[in-house]
A and B are shown apart, each in its own frame.
Chain A
């Protein structure tokens, strides 16, 4: 067990190094983008003195390494700087917008697993037959169609024509938002004991989550299918068949379980990729999330906000990957036992 801990610490260290690299990169990129952030923030009517004063206040004229050092010092105290646009601390902005994105991505991840894995399993189990053809079609469409197109299609069909789901936003207008305790709509609704509000929030969440999940869902189904088909060639599956084990047992224990190990790694990457894809979906569904905020601040060249948003998303990405690595270690007895023995 101690070795799993050691590999966890190792990954954590690696993640930290990646974070430092990303922060340098985004810090530099944000500053070489064309346009004067102070001018953009203050608008065309500001005087040259006002612009100069803002540049001075934000150390914008200092050399890059000096600026970066200032930035590192403030990050160490938990301060990500101040948005030039909202004029609030970047951490406040992120705290406001991040939960909606995390909620969306998390529910998408669940849909991806709950829909993608069974499709893959059925495809492999009924290889070359009808369920396989349907499964492959769905996964191909999922992988090939961008998330925002899915968003529009789902909005049109399920939202507009059939009217099963709301088209936009996090809540119906008739529903009042719960007091923000965690920032997560579903959790806050539950904490407020507002059952109807919880259902309304969930109702709003399903379409954007599904749109965001489609690509990962397709990828998951494809991988599960191909990994399982590979496992089906192994002698232990032949043995299970020779003994006449029930079909479901062969599929789940002898086919799916060994196939899950390589699938899970990719699944983690897909999950993390959703963080990046979330922007377009948030845009289509008017979802008040961090990705939308991120693009707005980029367009406004809002330096601290850009860097802060990118770092938070990168951190979320890395955390998801570490969790997946640990899960893979735990379900793979070969790794788990090797770790225990050494």
Chain B
């Protein structure tokens, strides 16, 4: 049963977003609410195009400054509403939230070395940090994620390191400023399956050690089952079921969740799961399992 006494690190309230001109905007999220408490590992699962990435990119303030994005609702990071977004929010949000991307190699700037980028990351947490201090901390952070020769890694460009190595670098960077929440959008799906599994294991260990909450986005229910404490199932821009991992896997109640679970065995083949056939039942209203209600505290 989740610990409801903790104040949420992130709380999303009735988030709606539409893209396009004011007249022809298409709504992609139709009122999403979710929360993550300190130390929790929460998964967001759903088929491709259901709005997982849009949700977390909004939370990171990455979509709001586009002209054709229309946002309603709230994204609370203790006391700050980030729904309006923009670089201002990114700065104020500071390093409470960090993000890991799907393809680690392309998430690193190819024109300068890991060292420079790591400095930028550390500087965003502590503006007055000296170069020497930053380098020392970067080395320590890389050693923590078991990179064999941190000095050499720092002096490499991303394209000189393997995908798995870059993934470790990304995790080290993301956790370097000790964020309260780590968002991982299908981490490592661009890499091969074993490296992906190693990445998730590393992420699990690291966040356990630091007490960082995690919001994991994944297609892969097998991964979710091992990794997450709590799961939100999203279908076409709506959360359709929400419960602890145990509740959801043992007692799936929403037809869409059932269909997703039915697709699991096929994953062992290594490819993506076959998606369930669309069914009108999938539009059924939200099901929330016992003890998993949204927090009632006011955040403003």
Task: Give the B-binding residues of A (Cβ under 8 A).
Answer: 128, 234-236, 238-245, 247, 249, 253-254, 257-258, 261, 331-334, 337
Contacts and interface: CB of A to CB of B under 8 A. Distances in A.
A240 B120 CA distance: 9
A239 B107 contact: yes
A247 B90 CA distance: 11
Given A241-B90, A242-B60, A245-B120, A334 B110 contact: yes
Contacts of B90: 241-244
Contact of A239 (B101, B116, B157, B159): B101
A257 B91 CA distance: 23
B106 A234 contact: yes
A243 B120 contact: yes
Contacts of B95: 243-244
A243 B108 contact: no
Nearest to B93: A244
A249 B111 CA distance: 14
A244 B124 contact: yes
A258 B111 contact: yes
B160 interface: yes
Interface in B24-60: 57, 60
A241 B85 CA distance: 11
Complex A-B, nearest 9 residue pairs according to Cβ-Cβ distance, in ascending order: A244-B90, A235-B107, A244-B91, A236-B109, A235-B106, A242-B60, A257-B111, A242-B99, A239-B107
Given A242-B60, A244-B124, A249-B120, A333 B107 contact: no
B16 to A, nearest CB: 22
A258 B109 CA distance: 8
A334 B93 contact: no
Nearest to B57: A238
B62 interface: yes
Contacts of A234: 106
27 contacts: A128-B67, A234-B106, A235-B107, A236-B110, A238-B101, A239-B101, A240-B109, A242-B60, A242-B62, A242-B98, A243-B90, A243-B95, A243-B120, A244-B90, A244-B93, A244-B95, A244-B124, A245-B120, A253-B112, A253-B116, A257-B109, A257-B111, A257-B112, A258-B109, A258-B110, A258-B111, A337-B157
B292 to A, nearest CB: 28
A147 to B, nearest CB: 33
B94 A235 contact: no
A329 to B, nearest CB: 13
Contacts of B62: 238, 241-242
A238 B61 CA distance: 10
Given A241-B87, A253-B112, A236 B106 contact: yes
B137 to A, nearest CB: 15
Nearest to A129: B67
Q: Max chain A CB contacts within 10 Å: which of B101, B120, B160? A: B120
Nearest to A257: B111
B95 to A, nearest CB: 8
A235 B103 contact: yes
Contacts of A257: 109, 111-112
Contact of B160 (A235, A253, A337): A337
A189 to B, nearest CB: 40
A238 B101 CA distance: 9
B121 interface: yes
Contacts of B124: 243-245
B56 to A, nearest CB: 10
A333 B110 contact: yes
Interface in B80-123: 87, 90-91, 93-95, 98-99, 101-103, 106-112, 116, 120-121
A234 B108 CA distance: 9
A133 to B, nearest CB: 13
A235 B99 CA distance: 11
A243 B121 contact: yes
Of A240, A247, A258, most buried by chain B (CB within 10 Å of CB) is: A240
A293 B173 CA distance: 61
B101 A235 contact: yes
A215 to B, nearest CB: 28
Interface string B118-137: 00110010000000000000
B109 A254 contact: yes
Nearest to A236: B109
B98 A243 contact: yes
A239 B110 contact: no
A261 B93 CA distance: 33
Interface string B218-259: 000000000000000000000000000000000000000000
A310 to B, nearest CB: 39
B168 to A, nearest CB: 15
